[in-house]
Amino acid sequence: MDAPHRCPHRRPDLAQYHPRALPEAIALDERVFGARRTAVYRALGQHLHAGAVVRDPQGRMIAIALAIQRTNMLVVGPVIAPHAKMAADLVHAISCGWDGLVRIDVPGQPAEFEALLGEMGFSAAMESPIMVMGAQTLPGQRQYLFGMVDPVFG
């Protein structure tokens, strides 16, 4: 999905991502994605433009969104959150103020998340099906995955 972006609000529990949170980010991603992707996160860290996290009252990371810059485009992903509203708030936080195209690859087009992105000005540009062979579903807790990592990173 692509969008021009405006900045009307901010969550009080949202904080900027810091590289020292890398081990937590990798652990959260592993639970959701179903595989440990340390190299992917290290590569993202080298190209990171923006990132945001949400922590629970005990200080544990429960949501994250990262974005890289590719020429004049901001590519958002991964986006991991317990629900669509929090995922949309993370996307808003890291793309707010970006003067250019913003892209996010949304797996499976969750209707609520797609509607929230639409309210921010995003529109569907294309749909890529996710297909599996030899299993009924992909591993991990995919219901918490709202934005995919740019395929260039794996």
> What is the percent of the chain with per-residue pLDDT over 70, rounded to a whole number?
81
* Domain range enclosing 138: 2-153
pLDDT tens per residue across span 91-123 = 999 998 898 999 998 887 578 999 999 998 888
Domain count for the chain = 1
pTM of the model: 0.86
**CATH assignment of the domain containing 119:** 3.40.630.90
pLDDT tens per residue across span 2-43 = 444 455 556 778 899 999 999 999 999 999 888 888 988 888
Residue 81 pLDDT level (bands cut at 50, 70, 90):
very high
Residue 130 pLDDT level (bands cut at 50, 70, 90):
low
Cα 102 versus chain centre, distance: 12
Strand, coil or helix: 50: strand
- Name the burial class of residue 76, with classes exposed (0-12), middle (13-18) and buried (19+) by CB atoms within 10 angstroms of its CB: buried
